[in-house]
Amino acid sequence: MDTVLTRDPKKTIRIDVGDTAALSPYIFGHNLEHTRAAVGGGLSAQMLRNRKFCGKPSPCGIAAEWEGIGDRAFFRPGGENPESGERYTRHIGCEAMHRMNELTSMSVQNVHGGVCGLRQTGLRIEGGRAYELRIAAKSRLPVRLTAALTDRRGGRVYAETSFDLLPGDWQVLHAVLTPSSADYEAGVGFTFTEKTRVLFGAVSLMPTDHFHGMRRDVVECLRQIAPTVIRWPGGNFAGEYRWMDGLLPADRRGPLQSCTEIETQPYAHGYDNHEIGTDEFIALCREVGAEPFLTINPVWCTPEESARWVEYCNGAADTEYGAKRAENGSKEPYHVRFWSLGNEMGYGHMEGPRTADDYAKLAQRHADAMLAADPGIELFSSGPYPNDVWAEKSAGTLFPKAKYVSLHHYSNALLNYTEDEIEETYYAVVNSVHEHAEKIVRMRESLDRFSPESRISFDEWNFWYAWYRPSCVAEGVFTAKMLHMLMHYSDRYSMPFSTFFQPVNEGAIDVTPEGARLTADGQMFAAARGHHGGRRCRIDGADAFTAAATVKNGAVYVTVVNDSFDRERDFVIAGPAGKAEGVVYTAEDVAPPSFFEVKPLAIASDESGYSVSLPPHSVAALTIYTGRIGE
């Protein structure tokens, strides 16, 4: 007997376009943290792994991710002695922070002659595409250094160039290589034949069409999901970040070692190569239309260094650090308004104070220095919220200098997508939005007791371990419901900020060497763009967080979720009248990896409103052109 798809009774969703509330523009935000594969292997256009030779070498002395060329060549790390002059990368400021093996180089000694050097394989190159190559190297004797794009064994050469490396200090060598053929397992090699030693300080290989060192396809995906605010550089990585290193050219910035095992850089041997600094981040925000939101490192940076960051971003060109910004290409200030006083302070996995009192004292010193640099900035405090002690001793103490208080939460469930457990897993994922809602309510209650005028910044949310698995439609439905919840709760619970953690390779954008595309989560952020800039309408008749409506410019924008695992549902959209059109995001499967397919939405209308039928686990987006509202 054939299975008949069950159908729930028709549900009427009534939209009151006469009862609206302001909608904060900053609830559609994202985090961009230099963690895992979000920058390295994600947003960054850099193709070479461990391009600054940091960390402990292999038993034969070669840095991780590299292999040696030459049977009798001798390899060892350079720069172990800070006074040797063998370091090319360096740090600026943040003198109290000490990490291991961040500043190294690669020494290649050609003891007996012949061809020797370094090679890295596993690169994806396109025939006819131009690649920008840079090498920072030095030698005591003149060297003819050859760089070549080859097959993985080095036998077939697709493009090569040679440089005259002169004796003396570090020399930066530039070239553009255009390979004759495509190879998705290619290699790059740097070789010489002279009997001498060459020190490699940093190497770089990127397509010439990069955007400030970033992949243009990923930037385009960010534009599609339209983050209204981007929080950076963390997240946990803020506790490792040294902002002043960003004043250096990207190749000279010292790598940054992860503090907690390799939590923030598990795919890069525990080190981040600092590909994106303040100037690149601001350029990205401007490119995708987002407000920048910066997180300081209050533990290892001094209050004076935090104030200098504010001055670098917002000071006039005649101030000390505003002048440095002007030297780096921007005479006009960046006008960064939003600043977080650290990340997840008080948790065991973060360095720094563990108690609310101690954190408040530390944050107060940074806040005073930063506000002296620019009284117009807005500050966000951190802590293990919801927590009454922290609400009293930290949020209450820091208010009104820090008007916003950070909240983080990640849903968690056993993700078993096998046939006998997939329905249970699906509902655990899509209904976990209620966990987040409860956290917001509890935090508001806590703040109301001790710091009632403080506002909530829900600046990290997602489903747990998104960085270790592919996304899927189940999580896309969760994200759609989360966005609805945030829209409804923002005004009610004084929560004007929320930022998803995080778009690149950890939820919203899938990035591979072949290209980038929106995940199901990312598709829901793209669908929510119609709500940006609108006023939220009152809705009656919808199940919790399954619908939202906004009004602007003579149109009502409506998103509706059918979160059923296996039932088609009929909806009537009542209230506004006018011409209606829309799309439906639908999928046959909810298990990873899966994506929505976007199809035209069939809409019928009569005196009761607009009728639509939504298949299981789908999301509809409608625009109703009234021609009156907002004109």
Q: CA-to-CA distance for 74 and 273, rounded, in angstroms?
A: 25
For Cα atoms 247, 249, 255, give the angle at the middle one, nearest 5 degrees: 85
Res. 571 pLDDT band, cuts 50 70 90: very high
| Residue 350: partners with Cβ closer than 8 Å, 6 or more residues away | 236, 239, 342, 343, 344
pLDDT of residue 349: 86
* pLDDT tier for residue 404 given thresholds of 50, 70 and 90: very high
Q: How far apart are CA 177 and CA 391, in angstroms?
A: 57
CA distance 275 to 34: 9
Domain 11-22+536-625, CATH among 3.90.105.10, 3.30.70.120, 2.60.40.1180, 3.20.20.80: 2.60.40.1180
Task: Share the mean pLDDT of the chain.
Answer: 94
Give ∠ CA 310-451-391 in degrees, rounded to 5: 85
Q: What is the 3-state secondary structure (H, E, C) of 83-103?
A: HHCCCCCECCCCCCCCCCCCC
Query: Residue 204 — φ and ψ, nearest 5°?
Result: -145, 140
- Does the domain formed by 67-207 have CATH 3.20.20.140? no
Which amino acid would we find at residue 425? T
Mean pLDDT value across residues 345-364? 94
The answer to whether residue 630 scores a pLDDT higher than 70 is no
DSSP string, 133-168: EEEEEEESS-EEEEEEEE-TTS-SEEEEEEEEE-BS
What pLDDT, on the 0 to 100 scale, is given for residue 3?
40
- pLDDT tens profile 112-123: 999 999 999 999
Report how far residue 39's alpha carbon sits from residue 56's, in angstroms, rounded to the nearest whole number: 22
**To which residue do tokens 């020190």 refer?**
199
Checking if the pLDDT of 580 tops 60, the result is yes
460 has which bridge partners? Answer: 408
Average pLDDT over residues 431-444: 98
- Could you read off the pLDDT of 511-561 as tens digits, one per residue? 999 999 999 999 999 999 999 999 999 999 999 999 999 999 999 999 999
Pick from 53, 69, 150: which is nearest to 117 by CA?
69
- Give the distance between the most distant pair of CA atoms in the chain: 90
What residue ranges do the domains of the chain occupy? 11-22+536-625, 25-45+210-532, 67-207
Instruction: Tell me the average pLDDT across 216-225.
Output: 98
pLDDT surpasses 50 at 618: yes
- Collapsed DSSP state (helix, strand, coil) of residue 395: helix
CATH code at 25-45+210-532:
3.20.20.80
pLDDT at 6: 58
Q: What angle do CA 27, 525, 447 make, to 5 degrees?
A: 25
- Residues 31/232, Cβ–Cβ less than 8 Å: yes
Tell me the residue length of the chain.
631
Mean pLDDT confidence for 141-156: 96
Contact criterion met (CB below 8 Å) for 182 and 126:
yes
What whole-number distance in Å separates Cα of residue 164 and Cα of residue 174? 11
pLDDT given for residue 267 in this prediction:
83
Residue 509: the pLDDT is 97
Counting residues of the chain whose pLDDT is more than 90, the rounded percentage is: 88
629: pLDDT confidence band, cut at 50, 70 and 90? Answer: very low
The β-bridge partners of 531 are none
pLDDT class of 260 with cuts at 50, 70, 90: confident
